[in-house]
Amino acid sequence: MDDKAAVLQVKELCFGYPERKLWAHWSVTVRAGATLVLGSDGSGKTTLLQLLAGDVLSESGTLTLAGVALHEDAPAYREQVFWQDPRSSALDALSVQQWWDSLPARHSHWDAAALAAHVAGFALEPHLDKALYQLSAGTRRKVLMAAALASGATLTLIDEPMAGLDRASVQYLQQALADAAAQPGRTLIVAHYEALDGLPWAQVIELPDEA
């Protein structure tokens, strides 16, 4: 692979939980566009996204995003990343609009026009003043996807995008993901348990099943 096209380089990553070794000296190069992390339940998809976000630190190895190494300048690395764990309750008390309003300060390429398009595409208008804890799982997921897509981040990490989505939203999401992945300088890494046909994956990273 041409290293000039590499956006994210993972070298010699080692990480595991006490009862589950997940990566031993694992290396991968991710290019711009959309990459699928494919794995069954418990294969480590969420953990990998947390590591790539710099949210969980590896035991050893290096992560370099657009030339910035996590171990050398963690704030500059993290500034380039959009990651929100869908299972986290940290944002529960905020309204949808309050959470979104906090994001342009963190993401310098935030695209307000794109967010407005995603509000329409996911039919989110009636939910903007509700607190996140009041939302159904599917609506919460759409709120998160709208932010991820509008973030303009160099690296956007998305966990299980289709969970709880109605058919119309799945179709909208597929198109919106493809459009975001075509934006110059953006890399989207999407974790899912099956192939998600219909998206122009630049790369597929398969994780082995839990032993």
- Work out how close the CB of 105 gets to ligand ATP at its nearest, in angstroms, rounded to a whole number: 29
Residue closer to ligand ATP (CB basis): 43 or 139: 43
Question: Using the rule CB under 6 A, is 54 a contact of ligand ATP?
Answer: no
Contact yes or no for 37/26 (Cβ under 8 A): no
Contacts with ligand ATP, 25-44, as mask; x by CB under 6 A: --------------x-xxxx
211 binds ligand ATP (CB under 6 A): no
From CA 178, how far away is CA 57, in angstroms rounded? Answer: 30
In angstroms, the CA 50 to CA 59 distance is: 13
Tell me the residue length of the chain: 211
Q: Between 47 and 84, name the residue whose CB sits nearer to ligand ATP.
A: 47
Q: For 33, left (φ over 0), alpha (ψ -120 to 50), or beta?
A: left
Under a CB-based contact definition with an 8 Å cutoff, are residues 103 and 146 in contact?
Answer: no
Closer of 46 and 139 to ligand ATP (Cβ): 46
Q: Is the dihedral of CA 193, 197, 199, 202 positive or negative?
A: positive
Cβ–Cβ < 8 Å for 122, 172: yes
User: Of 23, 38, 47, 158, which one interacts with ligand ATP (CB under 6 A)?
Assistant: 47
User: Which CB, 179 or 210, lies closer to ligand ATP?
Assistant: 210
In the complex, minimum distance from the CB of residue 39 to ligand ATP, in angstroms, rounded to a whole number: 5
To ligand ATP, the closest distance from the beta carbon of 208 in angstroms equals 11
Which of 4/87 has CB closer to ligand ATP?
87
Would you call 186 helix, strand, or coil by DSSP? coil
- Which of 101, 166, 209, 210 binds ligand ATP (CB under 6 A)? It is 210
Q: Which residue has the tokens 């630049």?
A: 202
Structural element, H or E, at residue 177: helix 167-181
Quickly tell me which residue has 């979104």 as its tokens.
Answer: 100
Q: Does position 20 bind ligand ATP by CB under 6 A?
A: yes
Does 2 bind ligand ATP (CB under 6 A)? Our answer is no
> Which two structure tokens, joined as six digits, stand for 208?
């082995």
Residue 45 binds ligand ATP, judged by CB under 6 A: yes
| Residues at the contact surface with ligand ATP, assessed by CB under 6 A | 17, 20, 39, 41-47, 210
